[in-house]
């Protein structure tokens, strides 16, 4: 039941988001900014003030800087009253899990809006195999970095097609 609850919650949120998205008036994002709305599908205390939101925000910013994206990542927790932008990235995080011993898995339902057009990227997943004795904070940072890279690999050709030509 524990593993089914986050899935059901995320599915319901996905349907609610789809239904709501058709009724929304979208506005232009600030110049040079890629808004990222992150929803965490975690329940209860994560044991740290440094949350999954924080880890993903920092990882996305690092990947954007590394790939020389022309837009700055501005992440915020998804909440009521958040503006809907013509171009934005929406990520619904699942709790990081260890499905195979020695490997942590990042999974997130991801949607990219470009000029008001929705691109459903479905579930993006990435994994990280840790070493015995590795610091857990370092492991989690690497898991989210792998997730940010997997997300960037999916959105970069859609959002920044000119970057492919420069490489």
The full set of domain ranges for the chain reads 4-160
The separation between CA 19 and the C-alpha centre of its own chain, rounded to angstroms, equals 20
Question: CA gyration radius for the chain?
Answer: 16
Beta bridge partners of 129: 103
pLDDT for residue 25: 83
Regions of the chain where pLDDT drops below 70: 1-23, 42-48, 79-80, 165-167
> Domain 4-160 classified CATH 3.30.160?
yes
Cβ–Cβ contacts within 10 Å for residue 165, how many? 6
Alpha carbon dihedral 71, 149, 37, 7, in 10-degree steps, equals 160
Nearest to 109 by CA among 46, 25, 40, 51: 40
For the stretch 98-138, pLDDT in tens is: 988 999 999 999 999 999 999 999 999 999 999 989 998 99
């Amino acid at each position: 039941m524990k593993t089914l609850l986050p899935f059901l919650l995320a599915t319901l949120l996905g349907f609610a988001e789809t239904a709501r998205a058709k009724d929304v008036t979208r506005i232009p994002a600030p110049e040079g900014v890629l808004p990222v709305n992150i929803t965490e599908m975690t329940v209860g205390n994560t044991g740290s003030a440094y949350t999954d939101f924080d880890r993903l925000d920092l990882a996305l910013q690092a990947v954007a800087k590394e790939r020389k994206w022309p837009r700055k990542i501005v992440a915020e927790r998804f909440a009521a009253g958040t503006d809907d932008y013509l171009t934005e990235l929406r990520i619904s995080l699942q709790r990081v899990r260890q499905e195979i011993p020695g490997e942590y898995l990042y999974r997130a339902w991801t949607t990219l809006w470009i000029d008001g057009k929705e691109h459903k990227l479905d579930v993006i997943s990435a994994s990280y195999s840790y070493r015995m004795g590795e610091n857990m904070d370092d492991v989690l940072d690497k898991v989210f970095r792998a997730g940010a890279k997997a997300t960037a690999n999916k959105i970069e050709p859609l959002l920044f097609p000119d970057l492919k030509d420069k490489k």
